[in-house]
């Protein structure tokens, strides 16, 4: 059956929404709300009203032990009349659980469960729609899913699998809280599939499992914010996994292994449907992706056209319609791009008509509800068209997922794709990489354990050597971790561990970040073996070995070197227990022998290592700093994660009478403009600085604060606002430089010139950009060539005695560069002492 006939059959069965009986007059397209990486998460001050919740998705804990339906009575959240979705005529968060409970009661095709919690502790729901299965049938499906990944050659030969494996499709709704309609459109599809009585629907569900994470961001849905309750954009977190919402959908993805997934967003004026523009992630099996992503996008475009609205008569398909760099799929931080590494054909869908932000408050309720109704129909239509496409192309999608995992196991080269492979494919779309044979991660540090656990959590295969072994002229100890790149998800392993690529010359701009590297930025030593895998007995790793230890003899003073955020957490935990600590230098803390038990406790808790302190005279006693911070949400999150007590401040709060009494250090990176302070706010800041209070700044806002208050005599130089990536640095300084990594991360990079300060860190003297996108602001200005060799972090003391550190880098960016967190903490300890 061709696609047109299949869609007609599904229309008859009620699986496709019929066109509207009357078109709606087209309005001018609202302005795009695309986030190019410097959106709210970089500019808003946020506070955590609850700590992040540790999530282990129920669907990933064990293999299925029951069939379908797997119905659970979902607990009902309290009714919230302030839920921002209500005004739009959409379902409030508190209405979702009753709706799913009712559908479970009405239909054996629907299963619902809680698969995690939001940053503020709200339930995350997964709804599964499929024909009933016995426990044996479900176990067989699960066995086949594992076979596809673990032994793709055998899966390709399994005729019963080819006939009877159910097509998995995953829909992710409402990942951005103020882009609501993905939830409502998905619920329409669930209800229609659940209640249809025709043979076509029954047959379809015997062949298919439809998985829906109904709202990925209940905190934001209720509050009407893009971010979750911790102030994070979840759709930027998939390579970092700092947020419970991203961890929950990661686990759903691993448990369901979909052929296709949709991430439903808004609002771009015209419906936008990926595939995206170049640059395409160089670790993709892009030929397997684009052969389905483009025709499915065209099918979704046809589906929204059939709705009959003037606003839905075309879609923007970036691969077809946009210039390179306008809407790329380069980084693995977005849900669909991350899903591609897990074997799915991933699409972002942006519904057209804006109802959030300024429109939410300025438009009449009737107009908002009209727009939301159309947007909901668009979600419904794109999901339904995708289900039709997946059903028709089931055999090819199955073969493609098997082939992706086969290439990984075989160590096949990155695919070569000819021009015209799909309409419009050309040289500008051709990105590939050379996969190394293995990565080797020496054990014994919290950074190594953290990295290994992240890889394992993302289904990257890691092994632990059972004996010492040589490789490439170096000898490694037993217990060393090995990432053999002959594995099914080698693309995901490589995108996390490789350095990346400088793509500045290839495209004029990028949608979001262009460089990242867990190997270079997470603090763990990682070696690359280009051509050989270790020949040593090994065992698969399910969790990294504990690394905490106290190695000094009893009665000796202990020392801890501040190289990692875990070291900082341990120090702050000891200070919270009133242990009297001293600092031997900027990066070494000394613990008295009498606190050995407390040191052992925090060593076990945080994986840090206490060694015997060298006998040095004196030492500087210190206490945990009291910190006030005008910072972005990601920075606040990291500071609190490291155990600092932080009082949020801003221009508005200080103008309103907030004090800095008892504060040791003021952090300024976002939301505090000295020139906009009123008399009250300025007097507060001036008094703090006059008393010698410490200051740490980051970025343009922090540099402007330094200039306005004349703390350090530095001239600030700025790169292009969207320049970002991994940079090479030198670390000559005694405070921040001590023990810092040879790489850092920048976004809107700064560098400092002048005299009268200490250079803590410099950009490398040759081109400092290792990976990312950094073009000059003008010919010969603002580029990496101008930043080369210039100070990126400086320290000094003001005339009034304020110890000050200025960062031109981004050490806390989205909680990602974890190997840089300790350098920021060292700045806090020094400026507060």
Query: Residue 616 — very low, low, confident or very high, per pLDDT cuts 50/70/90?
Result: low
Q: List, in sequence order, every residue forming a beta bridge with 440; answer none if it has no partner.
A: 482, 527
Please state the length of the chain.
833
- Cα–Cα nearest to 339, from 168, 464, 554: 168
Domain membership flag for residue 25: no
Report the alpha-carbon distance of residue 147 to residue 152 in Å, rounded: 6
What is the chain's mean pLDDT, rounded? 92
Tell me what the mean pLDDT of segment 553-573 comes to.
97
Q: Are residues 70 and 172 in the same domain?
A: yes
How many CB atoms are located within 10 Å of the residue 785 CB? 15
Q: Encode 77-105: b = buried (16+ Cβ within 10 Å), e = exposed.
A: beeeeebbbbbbbbbbbbbbbebbbebbe
- The predicted-structure confidence for 758-816, as pLDDT tens digits, reads as follows 999 999 999 999 999 999 999 999 999 999 999 999 999 999 999 999 999 999 999 99
Query: Residue 586 — very low, low, confident or very high, per pLDDT cuts 50/70/90?
Result: confident
Residue 62 clears pLDDT 80, i.e. is over it: no
**At which of 510, 540, 570 does a domain end?**
540
CB 671 within 8 A of CB 640: no
- The predicted-structure confidence for 28-55, as pLDDT tens digits, reads as follows 323 332 232 333 222 222 322 333 333 3
Report the alpha-carbon distance of residue 500 to residue 201 in Å, rounded: 46
Tell me what the mean pLDDT of segment 548-562 comes to.
96
Q: What is the pLDDT of residue 20?
A: 33
Query: Quick check: bond before 267 cis, omega within 30?
Result: yes
Q: How far, in Å, are 257, 399, 539 from residue 168 at the CA level?
A: 7, 13, 31
CA torsion sign, 386 to 390 to 396 to 398? positive
Q: Cα angle vertex 481, ends 478, 486, to 5°?
A: 125
- Cα–Cα nearest to 240, from 349, 115, 331, 346: 331
- The predicted-structure confidence for 515-553, as pLDDT tens digits, reads as follows 999 999 999 999 999 999 999 999 999 999 999 999 999
Q: Are residues 637 and 501 in the same domain?
A: no
Q: Are residues 405 and 463 in the same domain?
A: no
Q: Are residues 564 and 532 in the same domain?
A: no
Q: Are residues 311 and 212 in the same domain?
A: yes
Domain membership flag for residue 433: no
**What predicted TM-score, i.e. pTM, was given to this entire model?**
0.92
Residue 654 clears pLDDT 90, i.e. is over it: yes
CA torsion sign, 391 to 395 to 399 to 400? negative
SS3 category, 701: helix
Q: Are strands 345-351 and 271-273 parallel, antiparallel or unpaired?
A: antiparallel
- Cα–Cα nearest to 826, from 737, 756, 759, 742: 737
**At which of 521, 540, 559 does a domain end?**
540
CB 625 within 8 A of CB 832: yes
**CATH code of residue 229:** 3.40.630.10
CB 517 within 8 A of CB 500: yes
Domain membership flag for residue 692: yes
User: Which backbone phi and psi does 674 adopt, to 5 degrees?
Assistant: -60, -40
Q: What is the CA radius of gyration of the chain?
A: 27
Q: What is the pLDDT of residue 11?
A: 37
Residue 480 clears pLDDT 60, i.e. is over it: yes
Q: Cα angle vertex 394, ends 392, 397, to 5°?
A: 125
Q: How far, in Å, are 147, 398, 433 from residue 413 at the CA level?
A: 23, 21, 8
Report the alpha-carbon distance of residue 275 to residue 269 in Å, rounded: 18
Q: What is the pLDDT of residue 348?
A: 98
Q: Are residues 489 and 373 in the same domain?
A: no
Q: What is the pLDDT of residue 617?
A: 66
How deeply is 260 buried, as exposed, middle or buried, from its count of CB atoms within 10 A (0-12, 13-18, 19+)? Answer: buried
Q: At what angle do helices 286-305 and 394-410 cross, to 10 degrees?
A: 160
Q: How far, in Å, are 26, 173, 221, 350 from residue 19 at the CA level?
A: 16, 23, 28, 20
Q: Are strands 665-668 and 694-698 parallel, antiparallel or unpaired?
A: parallel
Q: Are residues 631 and 603 in the same domain?
A: no
Q: Are residues 367 and 464 in the same domain?
A: no
**CATH code of residue 593:** 3.30.70.790
Tell me what the mean pLDDT of segment 482-502 comes to.
98
Residue 286 clears pLDDT 50, i.e. is over it: yes
Query: Residue 619 — very low, low, confident or very high, per pLDDT cuts 50/70/90?
Result: confident
CB 699 within 8 A of CB 673: no
Residue 24 clears pLDDT 60, i.e. is over it: no
How many CB atoms are located within 10 Å of the residue 675 CB? 10
Q: Are residues 596 and 664 in the same domain?
A: no
- The predicted-structure confidence for 682-692, as pLDDT tens digits, reads as follows 999 999 999 99
User: Which backbone phi and psi does 732 adopt, to 5 degrees?
Assistant: -80, -15
Domain membership flag for residue 638: yes
Per DSSP, 502 falls in state: B
Q: Are residues 665 and 805 in the same domain?
A: yes
Domain membership flag for residue 429: no
Residue 9 clears pLDDT 70, i.e. is over it: no
Q: Looking at the 3D structure of the chain, how many domains does it have?
A: 4
User: Which backbone phi and psi does 498 adopt, to 5 degrees?
Assistant: -75, 165
Q: Choose the weakest-confidence range: 41-50, 370-379, 729-738, 740-749.
A: 41-50
Residue 638 clears pLDDT 60, i.e. is over it: yes
CB 219 within 8 A of CB 118: yes
Percentage of the chain lying above the pLDDT 90 cut: 90
Domain membership flag for residue 400: yes
Bigger pLDDT: 56 or 731? 731
Q: Are residues 660 and 606 in the same domain?
A: no
Q: At what angle do helices 821-832 and 565-576 cross, to 10 degrees?
A: 40
Instruction: Give me 647's structure tokens.
Output: 């009082």
Q: Choose the weakest-confidence range: 14-18, 52-56, 183-187, 189-193.
A: 52-56
CA atoms within 13 A on the CB side of 815: 24
Domain membership flag for residue 24: no
| The 3-state secondary structure of 219-258, one letter per residue | HHHHHCCCCCCCCCCHHHCCCCCCCHHHHHHHHHHHHHCC
Domain around 506? 438-540
**CATH code of residue 660:** 3.40.50.880
**At which of 565, 590, 622 does a domain end?**
622
Domain membership flag for residue 637: yes
Report the alpha-carbon distance of residue 435 to residue 544 in Å, rounded: 24
Q: Are residues 175 and 323 in the same domain?
A: yes
């Amino acid at each position: 059956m061709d696609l047109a006939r299949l869609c007609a059959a599904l229309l008859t069965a009620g699986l496709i929404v019929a066109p509207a009986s009357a078109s709606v007059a087209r309005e001018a397209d609202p302005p795009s709300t695309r986030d190019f990486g410097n959106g709210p998460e970089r500019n808003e001050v946020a506070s955590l009203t609850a700590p992040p919740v540790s999530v282990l998705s129920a669907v990933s804990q064990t293999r299925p032990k029951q069939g379908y339906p797997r119905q659970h009575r979902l607990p009902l959240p309290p009714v919230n009349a302030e839920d921002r979705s209500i005004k739009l005529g959409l379902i409030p968060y508190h209405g979702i659980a009753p709706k799913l409970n009712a559908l479970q009661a009405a239909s054996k095709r629907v299963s619902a469960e809680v698969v995690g919690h939001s940053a503020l502790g709200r339930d995350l729901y997964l709804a599964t729609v499929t024909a009933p299965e016995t426990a044996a049938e479900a176990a067989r499906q699960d066995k086949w899913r594992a076979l596809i990944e673990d032994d793709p050659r055998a899966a390709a030969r399994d005729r019963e699998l080819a006939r009877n494996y159910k097509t998995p499709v995953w829909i992710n709704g409402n990942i951005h809280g103020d882009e609501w309609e993905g939830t409502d459109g998905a619920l329409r599809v669930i209800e229609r599939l659940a209640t249809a009585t025709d043979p076509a629907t029954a047959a379809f569900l015997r062949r298919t499992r439809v998985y829906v994470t109904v709202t990925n961001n209940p905190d934001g849905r209720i509050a009407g914010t893009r971010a979750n309750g911790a102030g994070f954009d979840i759709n930027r977190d998939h390579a970092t996994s700092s947020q419970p919402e991203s961890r929950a959908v990661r686990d759903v993805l691993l448990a369901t292994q979909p052929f296709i997934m949709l991430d439903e967003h808004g609002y771009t004026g015209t419906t936008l449907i990926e595939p995206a523009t170049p640059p395409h992630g160089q670790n993709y099996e892009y030929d397997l992706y684009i052969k389905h992503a483009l025709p499915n996008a065209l099918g979704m475009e046809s589906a929204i056209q059939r709705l009959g609205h003037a606003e839905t008569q075309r879609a923007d398909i970036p691969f077809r319609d946009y210039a390179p760099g306008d809407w790329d799929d380069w980084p693995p931080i977005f849900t669909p791009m991350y899903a591609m590494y897990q074997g799915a054909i991933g699409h972002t869908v942006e519904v057209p008509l804006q109802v959030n932000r300024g429109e939410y408050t300025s438009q009449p309720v009737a107009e908002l509800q009209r727009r939301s109704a159309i947007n909901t129909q668009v979600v419904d239509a794109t999901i339904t068209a995708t289900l039709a496409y997946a059903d028709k192309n089931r055999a090819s999608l199955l073969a493609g997922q098997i082939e992706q995992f086969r290439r990984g196991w075989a160590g096949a080269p990155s695919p070569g794709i000819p021009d015209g492979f799909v309409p419009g494919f050309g040289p500008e779309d051709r990105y590939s990489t050379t996969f190394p044979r293995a990565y080797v991660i020496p054990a014994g540090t919290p950074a190594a354990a953290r990295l290994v656990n992240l890889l394992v959590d993302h289904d990257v295969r890691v092994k632990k050597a059972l004996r010492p072994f040589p490789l490439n002229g170096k000898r490694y100890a037993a217990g060393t971790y090995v990432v053999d790149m002959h594995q099914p998800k080698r693309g995901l392993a490589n995108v996390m561990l490789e350095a990346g690529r400088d793509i500045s010359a290839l495209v004029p701009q990028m949608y979001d970040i262009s460089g990242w590297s867990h190997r270079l930025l997470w603090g763990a030593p990682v070696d690359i073996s280009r051509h050989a895998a270790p020949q040593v007995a090994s065992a698969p790793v399910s969790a990294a070995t504990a690394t905490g230890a106290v190695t000094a003899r009893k009665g000796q003073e202990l020392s801890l070197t501040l190289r990692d955020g875990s070291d900082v957490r341990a120090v702050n935990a000891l200070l919270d227990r009133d242990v009297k600590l001293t600092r031997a230098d900027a990066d070494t803390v000394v613990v008295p022998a009498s606190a050995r038990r407390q040191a052992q406790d925090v060593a076990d808790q945080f994986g840090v290592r206490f060694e015997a302190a060298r006998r040095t005279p004196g030492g500087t006693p210190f206490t945990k700093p009291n910190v006030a911070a005008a910072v972005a949400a990601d920075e606040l999150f990291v500071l609190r994660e490291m155990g600092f007590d932080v009082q949020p401040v801003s221009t508005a709060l200080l103008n309103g009478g907030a004090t800095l009494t008892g504060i040791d250090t003021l952090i300024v990176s976002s939301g505090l403009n000295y020139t906009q302070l009123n008399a009250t706010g300025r007097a507060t800041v001036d008094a703090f600085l006059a008393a010698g209070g410490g200051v740490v700044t980051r970025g343009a806002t922090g540099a402007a604060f330094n200039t306005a208050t004349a703390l350090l005599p530095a001239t600030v130089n700025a790169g292009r606002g969207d320049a970002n990536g991994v940079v090479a640095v030198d670390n000559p300084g005694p405070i921040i430089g001590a023990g810092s990594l040879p790489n850092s991360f920048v976004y809107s990079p700064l560098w400092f010139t002048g005299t009268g300060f200490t250079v803590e860190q410099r950009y490398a003297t040759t081109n400092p950009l290792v990976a990312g996108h950094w073009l000059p602001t003008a010919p010969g200005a603002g580029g990496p060539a101008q930043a080369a060799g210039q100070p990126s972090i400086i320290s000094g003391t003001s005339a009034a005695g304020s110890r000050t550190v200025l960062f031109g880098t981004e050490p806390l960016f989205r909680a990602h560069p974890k190997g840089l967190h300790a350098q920021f903490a060292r700045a806090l300890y020094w400026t507060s002492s």
